[in-house]
A and B are shown apart, each in its own frame.
Chain A
Amino acid sequence: MNKPELIETLKGQIIERLNLEGMQTSDINENEPLFGEGLGLDSIDALELIVLLEKEYQIKIEDPKEGKKIFHSVNSLADFIIAQKA
């Protein structure tokens, strides 16, 4: 899967996993922040994203301090997955 495909897949998984009702993948800008502004996700959503990474991509975040950087946006999340799978 190349990066644009991964980004599209991630957007779909985020919508489904976080119950973002009425939202389409095209509504998510991959460069916008996931938390605070942008999608406005909360702390429970952050935990759901960690579970999503483990379940769908078999990736565990070893250093919690990295979380903020990894989950900044869909783009940064995709970069992290690609780096882990390389």
Chain B
Amino acid sequence: MKSPALHITKHVRIKGDKILLNGEIVFQSESINLSDFLNSAYRNTGLNYPKYFKMDNLAKASILAAHYILNDIEQEIQTKSERISICLSNSSSSLDTDLKHLKSVEDPSNFFPSPAVFVYTLPNIGLGEICIKYKIMGENCFYVFEKFNAAFLSQKIHISFADENTEMMLAGWVELFENDIDILLFLTEKSEKGLPLETEIIENLYTQF
């Protein structure tokens, strides 16, 4: 029997002061500071995950976006943890935290680097935080591109699903630097429902807001 085609079953977009789930606004804040925005959004979800406050902004944003997509299928995810893949990408890598770390080590007379900051000086740590929280143990990868690359994501997801072990894939763009946030995260499944997994559709999800 032929498997259903690949479809995007859920998508979340975080940009500026808004969070949209499947195109509908689920959170909006007037915070002008990104850290305040991320903390307000976290409290709004009702999540109880104290580790969130120890993360850098990129990891917080990644966890937050993943929450909107995975929260109501958390039990299902845990039954197929090795069959769920993740592929994230961005353009600033972990520069936001790299600069904070640099600031803490550039003055030799006040040299007190923070281990809690240093551990986030890699872009894929946020991806790891998602895997830890949701116990995802499938293939995972992080790519740095100059700009959002829908064609690559589409191709990468198709390749991952060529491995029949893959049942779900979380993919997208998690760009964050200083006070700017630009996130599109989406879940792809073999399903009759949702949006067809095509480059143009992914591009539209990114540009719709």
Contacts and interface: CB of A to CB of B under 8 A. Distances in A.
Contacts of B39: 21
B115 A21 contact: no
B54 interface: yes
A19 B114 CA distance: 12
B209 interface: no
B128 to A, nearest CB: 13
A48 interface: yes
B50 A20 contact: yes
B116 interface: yes
A35 to B, nearest CB: 15
A44 B115 CA distance: 6
A48 B112 contact: no
B54 A55 contact: no
Q: Classify chain A: how many residues form its interface, as a range.
A: 10 to 19
Contacts of A21: 39, 50, 52-53
Contact of B116 (A44, A54, A55): A44
A44 B113 CA distance: 12
B53 A47 contact: no
A51 B112 CA distance: 7
A55 B112 contact: yes
A18 interface: yes
B122 interface: no
Given A19-B116, A21-B39, 19 more contacts: A18-B54, A18-B116, A19-B53, A19-B54, A20-B50, A21-B50, A44-B54, A44-B115, A44-B116, A44-B119, A45-B116, A47-B115, A47-B116, A48-B114, A48-B115, A48-B116, A51-B115, A54-B112, A55-B112
Interface of B: 39, 50, 52-54, 112-116, 119
5 smallest beta-carbon distances between A and B, as pairs: A47-B115, A21-B53, A19-B53, A55-B112, A19-B54
